Structure 1
Amino acid sequence: MGIDLAAHLIRAGYRIGPQERRAWDNSLPALAEHLVRVGLGDLDALVEYQLPRSDSRIDVILAGIHPTTARESYLVVELKQWSAARRLDDVEKLVTVPMMRDPQLHPGVQVEAYCTYLADFLAVVWDWPEAVHGVAYLHNAVSASVADLIDPGRSRQALIYTTDRVARFDAYLAGRFSTRGTGDAADRLLGSGIRPSRQLLAHAADDLRGRRHFVLLDAQRTAYELVMRAVRRAQQGRRKQVVIISGGPGSGKSAIALTLLADLAHAGRIVAHASGSKAFTGSLRRYARTDPREPLRRTKPLFNFFRDFMTDERDSIDVLICDEAHRIRTRSNRGSVVGEVPQVEELIAVAKVPVFLLDDHQVVRPNEVGRVEMIKEAAGRMHVDVEIVTLDAQFRCGGSPGYERWVEHLLGLADGKPYPWDGDDRFRLGVVGSPERMEELLRQRQADGETARISAGFCWEWTHQPVNGRLANDVRIGSWAKPWNAYGNRPPRGIPSSSYWATDPAGFGQVGCIYTAQGFEYDWSGVIMGPDLVVRNGRLVSQPGESKDPEIIGRPGRRKPENADLLIRNTYKVLLTRGLRGCLIHSVDEETQAFLKRLVPAPVDRLGNAQDGVYRVGGRATAEREAKASVRYQTETAGRE
């Protein structure tokens, strides 16, 4: 069985290790013995069932008919080979297991979360959530060795059985399933529609509305109202409409997205959020939870990836909010499964009102194709009307539209040559002589309770695995050395995972790359320009050969991207526009550093508010301008990307 399972999962895109193969060989026969003993040998078993819109897999779902109600009956089974376990101190949701280094989630809590997820997202059980029960079977343990884990008061979705409770487990199985047949319970589960239940949306609405602090202004509010108008028209059965919301960094796109998500969920609409960024989606999932320790994380499934809608039914969602839509790919893919139509067409098809929020200048990977014109063309092919809103406001970079224009001219993304920065009292800009000085200045702001991060062009090798429990200091400039942000979601202790580098205070100790900085903001930004973009003869030129980014230099068996120059320039556009209050720049190239100093001649001795004496070029701020800046910060940058 292990060989067949492994082959199937590898085809689906999973990596299967020897430990997982051993688990199948040991655990599945143990469960099968119970089923055969109570006359359920023919019961349908869905092994390694993948949760909808998730990479998580359930060990086994047993599917059949309840012996009393004659309705569908499903049992989620989590199989553990543990021989012993105990609670981690007084934290009842985590346990320690001999021979396992890291704390593990309590198996009862794990199973309960799986059951809740199924009831939240599978339409087949919406009207009968009692159909889903769950157990954890610790087939190598006895009750005494896991006594801390067994709670007689646990719900029907979090029961635990051990090897010395064989008779009880047999009786439980016999009480859950009829021996007279399984009906089509398994087929109904596999063929069920996938969309959030009303109960989940009500729960999410409470969480999101309690967390939301955004105020939509001007074009933001116009965009919001256009989406709501399209929703009303869809409810009336009128022609389908795509809404495209375009804006630069910090123009308030994600503020609109989260406000729409909260309000539509509160109104009972079937709504989902999607993006193409793991870090961005992970942070939104964390943001939406009222209690960050809450193990069920019920709002998590509302935040999806673009690829998650490959097989969903047409118009099965009222509103799909596609945030960071510049990250739309050519085709969706999950493992070896590739979408049959362009990804943008999948996204338009699945929702009655598809909403796309994007910035054409934030495409930083060769397989990203999301642009306003591309979405318009796709909608035209599908005979769908389009509404477009352009956001001109600026809520990042101190609310300074002049700074964004300066960056675009610096990088050659706008018509016209680079020009000197003439100062803006709402935003602090400086060129520093070394990364040490950059770190010193930003650390001061971090220590004072503000947020600061250092990011860099992808010009240094990246050691993915920790060495002796520490991240490798890959980014080296002279005597200064720092690690990249952690790779993946299992970093060393005290280091945030890649998804939370921009939002966890401990992220200051690592250098962020484009893929962890994009979509986020912090008060103070430090940007290290690498040798992939340098000044030669008075203008910036890209040097793709200096990049270490596999997306730029090409992966084995793949062609190098033809638009590497634009991708590098867009990368620095993103990095240079993450700061809310200010940005420090340092280039490792001498000619480039000298060029930047000529454009930004004011030295930076310290960072802070205007009255702190930050050096800048330009006149003093008037009382009126200072008052406007203060209002912006007091509204907590009401609109954010």
Structure 2
Amino acid sequence: MTKTNNVSSPVIKEVSYNKNSIDELLSSLGTNNKKSELLLDYPTVYIIHDEEQSQKYTVYVGETTDIRRRTNQHLLEDPNTREDWNQLSHAKDARMFVIGHPHFNKSLTLDVENQLMMYLLSVDSITQINNRRTNPQNQYYTADEMKPIFSKIWRKLHGYDANLFPLESIIRDSALFKASPFHQLTNEQVLAKQLITDKIELAMSRPEVGQLIMVEGDAGAGKTVLLSNLFYDLNEDLLSQNNFSEASPHAYLLINHEQQLKVYEQIAQKLGLTRLDEKIVTKPTNFINNHTSENPVDIILIDEAHLLWTQGKQSYRGKNQLQDLLKLAKVVIVVFDQHQVLKTVEYLEADQINELERQSKDNGNLIQLKNQMRMDANLNTIDWITDFVFNQAIKTIPHDAKYELKIATNPQSLQNEIQKKAKDTESNKHGLSRVLATFDWKYVNQKKPEDGSDYWYVSDGDWSMPWNLQLPRTRKQNQAERGLSWAEQPETINEVGSTYTIQGFDLNFAGVIIGESVKYRNGHIIFDPAGSKDKTATQKRTLSDGTKARVAEDLLRNQLNVLLTRGVHGLYLYAVDKELQQALLNAANAQHRLE
């Protein structure tokens, strides 16, 4: 692959965005014929931004083969048909960056445009992005130069405005970036998307409701990116309509996960999807309570469908959220991982899962994503984690030049290493790293401990850290971090995350404290409900035959699976159970120990 240092630098000029833009651009170029040629005669990418309030921006990203013609079109013609361009044309302080490069061609500028939209979507200070295309390119002559050229463009833009263009490492750590609809899909995801869109097109021509499309895949298989891309593309056409505020949206996105809900709400807000419907992203119970089978919608997409409730709870009075939702839409697309069911209220029996799979498969609607895209680890490391969780066996930790799998000798060394990694924000391999734990220490949300302590703690001996969502946030932090997931908030480096705050998200490095619900006895791992403080996993569940049963071991196994598959570049483990801790240390040679 072409190295960044071997790629020439881009040419970037910033000018006012108004009727004098081109004259100002020409003046800034002076007599430099080479730069003039790159910006005026070659393909270019451009960014128009308006600071609507203090450090809050509206942004448009585009590409063109003629910046003079395109600028005049945006200023004189587009305001007559689109409100976003009308607002930009009347903005007093709007600015425009024009970006050129000697190797720009149509495919490369489209790729850079797409990458800019993906990055800018993740910037906290940007409230709205007005370009609505997703156009990542496949192979072309200079495709191998895209990443190094883009990095040089972004660094140069960062020099102009660090608030509008933060460090790349900060962008890539963002949950918005990881769930962005602008990611280039893998071949496996492209085939899945094509099958889904074909099925939707056929379903729209028929009166029936309740067609189920099921997308399965383990943690890190790319389910969320596929769903986000579908959600955006299915609604994109409506955004180009003049009266789209009165239109009924094609697709709703539902999720039962509070942290992931924040991410999708931001995506919908920044890309203008909330103008189709303020509740285009919502929780399943809210959707069920506000829709009827007499007026079904076109499409429902459900992320983390394994979190749907399979019994009544709180304001949900039904018995199965998925079955209720199938009555409210022509097509329901779910992404599902049976190994991420965490609570009894979500529990599905094996026969029930098999029936959903059979129903989908019989209609050609069962899609299985098999590529592992989260963990940058070799297959032996992934197999080691799979054996640990599902086969309840501890094997010798394999060598892996790409992935750090280490056993900490005490929880303090684990915490120290995670905090060290978190400070290394300049590196794409470090940065967003957090301590996590099994739910084996008491925690009651929004209540103080009975002993008068300020916080609920995860502890072992003299070591302790507060559980998540407890450390005080200033008013300024609350405003700035309102839409951020738990792990993205800076003070959470001093907290311990649970399965419920980290599920669905990536970390660069995850440090996992394994509590008393996971033990090692007689040569294998056991899951002990008595060691758990998570009543939502350990209470009995009424099965389909009316009997009550404990399904805690399955749920505790799934909870451990979620925790151990968060780290992209590394996983550090410490076990409170002495026999488990010793078995882990015995499996580790010197390079796999964290002293």
TM class by shorter chain equals 0.5 to 0.7
Letter in 1 for 2:559: T
- 1:273–1:320 CA contact under 8 A, matched in 2: yes
Aligned match of 1:111? none
What percentage of aligned pairs have identical amino acids?
Answer: 24
Shift, 1:587, TM fit: 0.6
Aligned pairs for 1:242-321 (under 5 A) are 242-268=212-238, 270-290=250-270, 301-311=279-289, 312-314=291-293, 316-321=296-301
1:460 to 438, 441, 453: 441
Secondary structure at the residue paired with 2:399?
Answer: coil
2:504 to 519, 535, 538: 519
- 2:213–2:366 CA contact under 8 A, matched in 1: yes
Shift, 1:384, TM fit: 8.7
- 1:465–1:471 CA contact under 8 A, matched in 2: no
Aligned pairs for 1:438-587 (under 5 A) are 438-449=414-425, 450-465=431-446, 472-486=455-469, 500-554=485-539, 562-587=550-575
Secondary structure at the residue paired with 2:200?
Answer: helix
CA separation in 1, counterparts of 2:588 and 2:55? Answer: 56
Letter in 2 for 1:583: L
TM-score by length of 1: 0.56
Cα offsets for 1:480-532 (capped at 9, x unmatched): 211111169x9676587897212323321110111111111111101000011
CA separation in 2, counterparts of 1:579 and 1:500? Answer: 16
Secondary structure at the residue paired with 2:227?
Answer: helix
CA gap of 1:391–1:380, structure 2 versus 1, over 3 A, is: closer
CA separation in 2, counterparts of 1:573 and 1:511? Answer: 17
CA gap of 1:465–1:379, structure 2 versus 1, over 3 A, is: closer
Shift, 1:351, TM fit: 1.7
CA gap of 1:603–1:400, structure 2 versus 1, over 3 A, is: closer
Letter in 2 for 1:271: A
CA gap of 1:205–1:327, structure 2 versus 1, over 3 A, is: farther
Cα offsets for 1:577-614 (capped at 9, x unmatched): 001111000011221111112223243578xxxxxxxx
1:219 to 181, 185, 188: 188
Secondary structure at the residue paired with 1:442?
Answer: helix
CA separation in 2, counterparts of 1:448 and 1:299? Answer: 40
- 2:299–2:330 CA contact under 8 A, matched in 1: yes
CA gap of 1:561–1:510, structure 2 versus 1, over 3 A, is: farther
Secondary structure at the residue paired with 1:237?
Answer: coil
CA gap of 1:298–1:545, structure 2 versus 1, over 3 A, is: farther
- 1:328–1:370 CA contact under 8 A, matched in 2: no
- 1:552–1:560 CA contact under 8 A, matched in 2: no
Secondary structure at the residue paired with 1:330?
Answer: coil
CA gap of 1:383–1:398, structure 2 versus 1, over 3 A, is: closer
CA separation in 1, counterparts of 2:219 and 2:582? Answer: 27
Letter in 1 for 2:292: E
Shift, 1:427, TM fit: 1.8
CA separation in 2, counterparts of 1:362 and 1:354? Answer: 20
CA gap of 1:242–1:400, structure 2 versus 1, over 3 A, is: farther
Unaligned runs of 5+ in 2: 1-52, 57-127, 135-176, 239-248, 426-430
Shift, 1:463, TM fit: 4.8
2:395 to 419, 425, 434: 419
Shift, 1:232, TM fit: 1.1
Letter in 1 for 2:494: G
Aligned pairs for 1:77-88 (under 5 A) are none
CA separation in 1, counterparts of 2:359 and 2:228? Answer: 29
Letter in 1 for 2:469: A
CA gap of 1:213–1:381, structure 2 versus 1, over 3 A, is: closer
CA gap of 1:249–1:528, structure 2 versus 1, over 3 A, is: same
- 1:457–1:530 CA contact under 8 A, matched in 2: yes
Letter in 2 for 1:457: T
- 2:585–2:593 CA contact under 8 A, matched in 1: no
Aligned match of 1:338? 317
Cα offsets for 1:444-484 (capped at 9, x unmatched): 11111111011101111115347699951511222221111
Secondary structure at the residue paired with 2:345?
Answer: coil
Cα offsets for 1:74-125 (capped at 9, x unmatched): xxxxxxxxxxxxxxxx9899xxxxxxxxxxxxxxxxxxxxxxxxxxxxxxxx
Unaligned runs of 5+ in 1: 1-89, 94-202, 607-614, 616-641
- 2:381–2:398 CA contact under 8 A, matched in 1: no
Cα offsets for 1:415-470 (capped at 9, x unmatched): x8442221222321000111211111111111111110111011111153476999
| Root mean square deviation of aligned Cα | 3.9
CA gap of 1:372–1:579, structure 2 versus 1, over 3 A, is: farther
- 2:216–2:335 CA contact under 8 A, matched in 1: yes
- 2:532–2:538 CA contact under 8 A, matched in 1: yes
Residue 327, structure 1, aligned to residue 307, structure 2: yes
Q: Relative to structure 2, which stretch is displaced further, 254-263 or 237-246?
A: 237-246
CA separation in 2, counterparts of 1:348 and 1:384? Answer: 17
Cα offsets for 1:520-562 (capped at 9, x unmatched): 1111101000011010111111221111112134399999961
- 2:442–2:456 CA contact under 8 A, matched in 1: no
Secondary structure at the residue paired with 2:306?
Answer: helix
Secondary structure at the residue paired with 1:525?
Answer: strand
CA separation in 2, counterparts of 1:602 and 1:310? Answer: 54
Question: Number of aligned pairs?
Answer: 401
Aligned match of 2:325? 347
Secondary structure at the residue paired with 1:212?
Answer: coil
Residue 430, structure 1, aligned to residue 406, structure 2: yes
Query: Which one has the largest radius of gyration?
Result: 1
